[in-house]
Amino acid sequence: MSPRVGFFVDGFNLYHSVTKVAQETSDESVKWLNLQGLARGILPLISPTASLASIHYFTALPEHLYLADPGRLGRHRTYLRALTAHGSLRPSIILGRIAQQQVLVRAASAEITGSIWREKGTDVALAMALLREASKGDMDEAVIVSGDADYLPAVKVFREMYPDIGLRFAFPRGRASKELLREAPNSFTLTSAAYLSHRLPECIRLPSGKFLYCPAEWRRKP
C-alpha cells in the first residue's frame, strides 16, 4: 500500500528556522522556500512508495508593520501568492492573526509596562485541521512541520481518535522538541540543505497570465 501523506506546516516556527539558516549562510534566497518541493523531498523518509496527499500552511500577515516595515508585509503577501500559484498540488493557506499583548518587565529599580506583537491562533487552527483531514479518510500519515511543544495535547487526542493514522513531526532545523519526540519517536529534523535545495522559481506564471517575481531581497545572488 502506498501511504498518502498530509503535511501541516506551522509557518512561524518554520520561518524562524529558515531565517536562522539565511543568517548563517548569508543567503536570503532560502526564504523563497518551495513547500511542495520540501514535502516531496520528505516523503522517502516515510516510505519509498509514499504519495503527497495535501499541504496545509498556517501563518499570519504582519499587517502591524504596514508603516514601519511595508517591505516585509509585501514580501509575505508575494510569497503566499507564489505558493498558491505554483506546482501540481498547491498548499491551502490558513491565516491567523497577529495581536498586541501587554507585558510587564520588572527591573531592579522599577516595573516597566510595554507591548509586543505575537501571532495568535496558528496552533489551534493546525490542530483542528489535522483532525478534520483525518476524519475525511484521505491520508494514512500526517506530518506536522513544527517543533512547538504546545502541540503535545493535540497529538495525544489525535492518537486516541485515529490510532491507524501515523503521525510524526518534521522539526525545523534548530527547533526540535524532546517532548514531541517522545510522543512521536519517528519524527526527524529538517536540514539546512533541505531548505537550500527547494526554492520556488524566480518567475511564476499566474492563472491570469501575468507573472509573479521573487522579491529582489530574496533572489539568489550570482
State the average pLDDT over residues 147-175.
Answer: 95
- The percent of residues in the chain predicted with pLDDT above 90, rounded, is 72
Whether the predicted pLDDT of 154 surpasses 50: yes
pLDDT, residue 117, reads 44
What's the confidence (pLDDT) of residue 182? 94
pLDDT exceeds cutoff 70 at 196:
yes
The whole model's pTM is what? 0.87
Cell output for 117: 506583537
Contact 59, 11 (CB under 8 A): yes
Q: Rounded to 10 degrees, what is the CA torsion of 64, 69, 74, 76?
A: -70
Report the C-alpha gap between 38 and 43 in whole angstroms: 9
Q: Which domains does the chain have, with CATH numbers?
A: 4-218 (3.40.50.1010)
| The pLDDT of residue 85 | 93
Give dist(CA 172, CA 3) in Å, integer.
Answer: 23
Q: Cβ–Cβ contacts within 10 Å for residue 188, how many?
A: 16
Quote the distance between the C-alpha of residue 52 and its chain's center: 16
pLDDT band at 123 (very low <50, low <70, confident <90, very high): confident
Single-letter amino acid code for the residue at 194: A
pLDDT at 221: 79
Count Cβ atoms below 10 Å from residue 81 Cβ, excluding itself: 14
Give the pLDDT of residue 65: 55
Residue 199 is inside which H or E element, if any?
none
Cα–Cα distances (Å) from 115 to 96, 101, 112, 174, in that order, read 19, 5, 10, 27
What does pLDDT average to over the chain?
Answer: 88
Yes or no: say if 193 and 27 are a contact pair by the CB < 8 Å rule.
no
Residue 200 confidence (pLDDT) above 70:
yes
